[in-house]
Copies of this chain bind each other. A is one copy, B any other.
Amino acid sequence: MKKYDLNNIMQMDSFYRVKLINCLSGFRMPVLIGTKDEKNGENLAIFNSFTHIGSNPPLFGVIFRPDSVPRNTLANIQTTKLYTINFIPEHLIDQAHQTSAKYSPDTSEFTACGIEAEYRDGFPAPFVRESLVKIAMELAETHHIQSNGTILVVGRMLELNMSDTVISEDGFIDFEALGTPGMIGLDAYMSFKKIKRLSYAKPDTWVKEI
């Protein structure tokens, strides 16, 4: 086991450090965020910082790097307050990854990357038609992280669109059936297999497989 102190880490090549530190945060689920700008232009971008904030009410967070590519998404969310979260089907991984390219603000990534948009029930922001889980979101609050200038955007789930056949009796979602990929770092897409589910832990008994 090797020891890297902060000095060693800060002296690493910056591309190397970005990959290493991104990898250290482990598995994540990339999602596509769909927005509209104030001129009604569509925007779609991949994010790998989708985070659970709470269930009552249902809240999710996303971390935005102000100096990174998908800042159009942040500006659009701040202007329109509404956005969509779309799970990525495995056959759209390449197209989804391509949305992270620095397209000009007036380019729709739906068109540029070959992803079909869908509008549902009058919600103004675009969904991804082929996505098997499509969530309508509303901006709740933003937090500015002082340490590095990133921004945490917290949103409320307004509407969930998905098949109920992949939801088990207790609310668990069968991701293997959905075929949604996971991600490590900024560029590695992963498939998953369940090892086991464990019971709710209590001090006086030992966890067991459920």
Query: Which of A's residues lie within 8 Å of B, judged by CB?
Result: 1-6, 9-10, 12, 14-29, 31, 49-61, 63, 65, 87, 90, 93-94, 97-104, 107, 112, 121, 132-135, 140-141, 143, 145-148, 150, 152, 154, 156-164, 167, 170-173, 175, 180-185, 187-203, 206-207, 210
Contacts and interface: CB of A to CB of B under 8 A. Distances in A.
A9 B58 contact: yes
Given A51-B49, A94-B206, A184-B175, A27 B24 contact: no
A94 B210 CA distance: 12
A103 B203 CA distance: 6
Given A51-B51, A190-B192, A191-B195, A57 B147 contact: yes
Contacts of A147: 53-54, 57, 59, 140-141, 154, 156
The dominant DSSP class at the A interface is mixed
Number of copies: 2
Residue with the highest number of chain B CB atoms closer than 10 Å, among A9, A101, A164, A171: A171
Contact of A28 (B28, B99, B172): B28
Given A26-B28, A97-B207, A190-B192, 17 more contacts: A18-B56, A20-B167, A21-B52, A21-B54, A23-B173, A24-B52, A25-B50, A27-B27, A27-B182, A28-B52, A90-B195, A94-B206, A99-B201, A101-B203, A188-B197, A189-B194, A189-B195
